[in-house]
Amino acid sequence: MKTSAIGLSILAGFAAASTASTISVTIENLGPAGGFSFTPLWLGAHDGSFDAFDLGAAGGAGITAIAEGGDTSVLSAAFAGSGVDATIAQDTGAPVFSPGESQTAMFNVGDAMTNRYLSFASMVVPSNDLFFGNDNATAYELFDTNGDFVGPFEILVFGRDIYDNGSEVNDANGDAAFSVLGGSRTAENGVVTRFFDDPGASSYLASFLGTGTADGNTIGATFDEGTLIARITIVPAPAGAGVLALAGIAATRRRR
């Protein structure tokens, strides 16, 4: 079983190889009931050269748009010419993934011998600029050099894998996205860090308890470094499955 910093594991019970370039992607919010949600998931299949962000460096415009408001369009524009990208949203109610919600979609990566690697990103909400994603462009290999699918596998995202974009001060009353608390944002002008490296991380999350969110929920639980937040499962597409038109679906930044 292969593992990585964000819990990558090969699933047993499936054929190890497939020459099909269409894969089935399932995204699940596994956080505690009443807890935090995350925005529609951006996916990109590429040749390993696309770098969405780097730990310890300022977040670029694409990852910042996701981290501050769940907007995937800026990252998609930056990704243009690097491969094939798509966005998976919750298809009932609000497009965000609340605890217990999931969505499965087909994703055609195009040339599987070229677009071998997966990148992904999503904002944790409500928050000012928290997100999860991968800063290693080649961490998740979908296809080998022959274009054969090397999964199936799952990506597990824990609390310890949440990043702080460093572009906006963490303040529940500072115009945090998807919160109804309002207020005015304060620019931080920092760099991408691991959220739980901040001694005030837990207190910041707790400050949202009992507050409303833009999708009509109330935050009743938080998470810590060991909490399982999300799972992304990737398997071969079922025979005869149609490819959903995923591109262009993006979350909009919601404010009070």
Number of domains in the chain: 1
CB 217 within 8 A of CB 36: no
Residue 116 lies in a domain: yes
Q: The CATH number of the domain where 26 resides is what?
A: 2.60.40
Please state the length of the chain.
Answer: 256
Position 98 in a domain: yes
pLDDT at position 243 is 43
The secondary element (H helix, E strand) that includes residue 156 is strand 153-158
**Residue ranges for the chain with pLDDT beneath 70:** 1-20, 239-256
Q: Identify the domain containing residue 34 by its residue range.
A: 8-225
Structural domain contains residue 247? no
Instruction: Write the pLDDT tens digit of every residue in 156-193.
Output: 999 999 999 999 999 999 999 999 999 999 999 999 99
Give the model's pLDDT for residue 240: 56
Q: Provide CB contacts within 8 A for 176, sequence distance 6+.
A: 126, 127, 128, 183, 208
Q: Quick check: is 233 in a domain?
A: no
Distance of CA 34 to the CA centre of its chain: 19
1 within domain boundaries: no
Asked whether residue 243 is domain-assigned, the answer is no
pLDDT at 92: 85
- pLDDT score for 206: 98
Closest Cα partner for 125 from 29, 235, 2? 29
Confidence at residue 18, expressed as pLDDT on a 0 to 100 scale: 40
